[in-house]
């Protein structure tokens, strides 16, 4: 019998209860990590200025090149990034103003994070390089979900491609 099993029996807990407790700890850690990531992206969004938006709009070619390097099977990430960029560009050009500044700032912060080659997990790491980008973009989509859905509706886009 393993030492862990002996300790579990000695403490009067079933193996199932121990597994449940471990899973709860992982869930709690995931929530903390997600909360930390959300706080960081919101902090970055609060510092976004008109200059940042203008500079991002000018990086359309760079964004397109980086999107073309995203591995297959991550179409939803690519679609989400394109949607964020297009909405930001339409806002900047005055074609779509039915959105609060907070949502634009969150979109810009997410796109700048995606463009950063030195983010939490470098994008050149095969297989896992875009995991952090997926997390950040997912958090931004949760934060500005209603505004993104409204934009999709106005543009006549199928929300299933993004949500």
pLDDT classification of 98: cutoffs 50, 70, 90: very high
The H or E element spanning position 65 is helix 60-68
CB-facing half-sphere around the CA of 16: CA atoms within 13 A: 0
Tally Cβ neighbours within 10 Å of residue 138.
16
pLDDT in tens, 121-160: 554 545 556 677 888 899 999 999 999 999 999 999 999 9
pLDDT classification of 8: cutoffs 50, 70, 90: very low
Q: What is the DSSP letter of 71?
A: P
pLDDT classification of 15: cutoffs 50, 70, 90: low
pTM of the model: 0.74
pLDDT in tens, 74-88: 899 899 999 999 999
Q: Where are the domains of the chain?
A: 48-161
pLDDT in tens, 39-85: 889 999 999 999 999 999 999 999 999 899 888 888 998 999 999 99
């Amino acid at each position: 019998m393993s030492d862990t099993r002996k300790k579990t029996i000695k403490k009067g807990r079933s193996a199932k209860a121990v597994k449940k407790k471990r899973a709860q700890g992982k869930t709690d850690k995931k929530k903390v990590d997600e909360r930390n990531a959300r706080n960081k992206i919101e902090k970055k969004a609060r510092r976004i200025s008109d200059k940042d938006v203008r500079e991002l709009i000018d990086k359309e070619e760079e964004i397109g090149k980086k999107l073309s390097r995203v591995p297959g099977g991550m179409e939803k990430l690519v679609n989400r990034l394109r949607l964020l960029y297009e909405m930001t560009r339409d806002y900047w050009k005055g074609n779509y103003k039915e959105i609060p500044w907070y949502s634009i700032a969150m979109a810009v912060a997410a796109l700048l994070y995606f463009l950063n080659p030195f983010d939490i997990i470098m994008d050149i790491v095969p297989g896992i390089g875009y995991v952090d980008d997926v997390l950040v973009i997912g958090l931004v989509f949760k934060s500005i979900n209603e505004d993104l859905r409204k934009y999709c509706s106005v543009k006549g886009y199928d929300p299933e491609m993004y949500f």
